[in-house]
Amino acid sequence: MAQRSSQPRPHRVAVIVDAGTNPFEVGVATELFGLPRPELGLTGPLYDITLCSPEPEVRMNHGFFTMAGLPGLEAVDRADTLIVPGRPDNVVPRGPDVLAAIRRTHARGARVISFCTGSFALAEAGLLDGRRATTHWMWVDTFRTLHPKVLLEPDVLFVDEGDLLTASGSAAALDLGLHIWRRDHGAELANAVSRRLVFAAHRDGGQRQFVERPVPDVPDESLGPLLAWAQERLGEPLTVADLAARAALSPATLHRRFRIQLGTTPLAWLTGERVALACRLIERGEERLDVVAARSGLGTAANLRTRLRRETGLNPSDYRRRFGPAGGGVLPQGATRR
């Protein structure tokens, strides 16, 4: 990638770390917005991150470790983006100084982001009333009880409301972070960061990854809607030509977008999703291989055996023993499970 000769001042990101904060989400923020990116061929950083805390020392979630020496909450007043990670004690109000920092950051026009249950803090600060947001699926009912004015969307991985962005879970913070990279700097740099992280840009799961509100001023060439559509039809005889027709693209253009955005081909992605579905069916207790093969779109029990062994290193019987309702073991070294 060619170097860029001139860059604006780095975008300032502040992360509030208060008592009980989830260290994984702090790590996601520093990974996405704090580490050097030599793979991008840039002459300087695009983001400048600061962790800040209301206390001189702060114990992280479950007391795993204590952080000290962080700047105070006045650091948020210099931030272009404020990130609020989640905590497990969501029904315990945040401190008034933390809520005040969140409010004044948003009031002066900065972008405010929550990871996982950090959305509780944004709602408690009054930022989310009448706005779309999401949170972790385990806390949906509690969130709705405490914050009934928020337009909660529990079935997505993240929600982009422009100045307010919320991620549904800890891992979904990565999805949202890559979306922010794309929104700030375009698909090319966002995809380079995604490849460096070895993190797929599109994931399946109960909280489906797509943003229903298009991002302003960024051409939307995301494969998200197409992938979500295909994932609901894996048992049907889908082909690459069907995917291309659905996306209104030529097969060659579709192949190129898969390579750029996912680092794989449409056929490899489709096969991988079908194997992942077959694994889930076996894990849930389905013992009839012909049924698993048919429902996952793999066709025959013989093809299921071949694909499963190639993907996990196990045949269906061994996979069932290890990961079926009575199992729960670990894959052999070198094997992967989607």
Write the pLDDT tens digit of every residue in 269-307: 899 889 888 888 888 888 899 999 999 999 999 999 998
The rounded distance, in Å, linking the Cα atoms of 98 and 100 is 5
Which residues does 39 contact at the CB level (< 8 Å), separation at least 6? 1, 192, 195, 196
- Per-domain boundaries in the chain: 11-197, 223-328
Walk across the sheet containing 81-84 and list its strands. 47-52, 11-16, 81-84, 111-114, 164-167, 158-160
What number is the average pLDDT over the span 27-35?
92
Nearest to 49 by CA among 24, 82, 14: 14
Residue 313: the pLDDT is 75
Query: Average pLDDT of the chain?
Result: 83
Residue 294: the pLDDT is 94
Residue 171: the pLDDT is 82
Residue 324: the pLDDT is 74
The rounded distance, in Å, linking the Cα atoms of 125 and 127 is 6
Side chain identity at residue 120, one-letter code: F
Length of the chain: 338
Q: Which long-range contacts (CB under 8 A, 24 or more apart) does 227-233 make?
A: 227/202, 227/269, 230/270, 230/273, 231/204, 231/273
In this predicted structure, the answer to whether residue 329 has a pLDDT above a threshold of 60 is no
Nearest to 89 by CA among 69, 62, 113, 68: 62
User: Residues of 151-163 as b/e, b for ≥16 C-beta within 10 angstroms?
Assistant: ebbbebbbbbbee
From 3.40.50.880, 3.90.700.10, 3.90.1300.10, 3.40.50.720, which CATH number describes the 11-197 domain?
A: 3.40.50.880
Q: Among positive and negative, which fits the CA dihedral 288, 289, 292, 293? A: negative
- Tell me if residue 201 falls in helix, strand or coil: coil
**% of residues, the chain, pLDDT over 90:** 46
Nearest to 317 by CA among 287, 284, 276: 287
Residue 81: the pLDDT is 97
Q: Where are the alpha helices (DSSP H) in the chain?
A: 23-33, 96-107, 119-124, 140-146, 172-185, 187-197, 224-231, 240-247, 251-262, 266-283, 289-296, 301-312, 316-323
Write the pLDDT tens digit of every residue in 177-232: 988 887 787 666 777 787 777 665 444 443 433 333 333 333 446 788 898 899 88
In this predicted structure, the answer to whether residue 80 has a pLDDT above a threshold of 50 is yes
Q: Does domain 223-328 have CATH number 1.10.10.60?
A: yes
More confident residue, 286 or 17: 17
Side chain identity at residue 248, one-letter code: A
Write the pLDDT tens digit of every residue in 230-246: 988 999 989 999 999 99
What number is the average pLDDT over the span 143-171?
90
What number is the average pLDDT over the span 305-332?
72
Residue 289 burial class via C-beta count within 10 angstroms: exposed 0-12, middle 13-18, buried 19 and up: buried
More confident residue, 6 or 305: 305
